[in-house]
A and B are shown apart, each in its own frame.
Chain A
Amino acid sequence: MATWLKPELLLLDEHTSALDPKSGDQVITPSDEVIVRDKLTTLMVTHSSVSDRIRVVITDDAPAYDPLAREEVDTSIPLEDRAIGGLGVHLVKNHMNVSLYERIDGKNILTIEGRLNAIDRPV
């Protein structure tokens, strides 16, 4: 397991994607215990699909930061006055069914969830 090497940064990119949800939880739980025990800096991305929904969870143990708290982009102002940036968060907040930031046990957890058959329309 990569954690034996005690890396400075541990990237867990869809490391449970080939598993069913129950088996995925069985991997994530012990992974979390090792990460906390060894104080590894970790960025973890997982996704799951249940019925017609897809959920992406991005977890890291960086200092607390809520990307959803930034000021909303004003899409109505003229081109010359419009700031560049912030569109990613804008799209997530206006295009997904769920966008949620939590700070739990020293971790930033960003959950994004959308219904696959409704993903073309804002909610």
Chain B
Amino acid sequence: MEINESQINASTVLTLTGRLDGLASPVLDQKVDSLLAAGIRSIVFDCSGLAYASSAGLRSFLAAAKKLKSAGGRASFATLTPAVHKVFELSGFLTVLAIYPTAASAANG
């Protein structure tokens, strides 16, 4: 999986491309931890290129959202692909996480 970092206003956007599985999720965890350590408090996960998210990937998303919330920040999730939307739905994420149609709307949300 590739992680590309960009900025929209005060939000850091992580654009994820490929498969977020048990191998990729520790990389995402480290990325989120480094952003938190750098003082970033708003992260948008742009999932438009994410073909697949395993339970390990869902765990990373949930952990990131909890860490950011406890630090006074927020995690947002944008442009879910149908496959990722399905596992978000099955996991109850659609009601507990902030979901947006685009990265821009997530950053401004």
The number of residues on chain A lying at the interface, defined by a beta carbon within 8 Å of a beta carbon of chain B, is 18
Given contacts A79-B96, A79-B97, A95-B90, contact A84 B66 (CB under 8 A): yes
| Nearest residue, chain B, Cβ from A85 | B59
Segment at the interface with B among A15-23, A86-94, A99-107, A108-116: A86-94
Q: Provide the residues of chain A in CB contact with B63, threshold 8 Å.
A: 84
A79 to B76, CA, bound (A): 13
Encode contact with A along B76-87: 1 for CB under 8 Å, 0 otherwise: 000000000011
Flag whether B91 is at the interface (Cβ < 8 A): yes
Flag whether A75 is at the interface (Cβ < 8 A): yes
Q: Provide the residues of chain B in CB contact with A78, threshold 8 Å.
A: 96
Q: Which residues of A in the span 51-84 have a Cβ within 8 Å of any Cβ on B? A: 73, 75-80, 82, 84
Given contacts A76-B95, A79-B66, A79-B69, contact A84 B90 (CB under 8 A): no
| Nearest 3 Cβ contacts at the A-B interface | A75-B92, A88-B55, A87-B55
Please list 6 pairs of residues, one from A and one from B, whose beta carbons are closer than 8 Å in the complex, sorted by A's number: A75-B91, A79-B66, A80-B66, A84-B62, A87-B55, A91-B91
In the complex, besides A73-B92, A79-B69, A79-B96, 9 extra interface pairs with C-beta distance below 8 angstroms are A75-B91, A75-B92, A76-B92, A78-B96, A79-B66, A84-B62, A85-B59, A90-B90, A95-B90
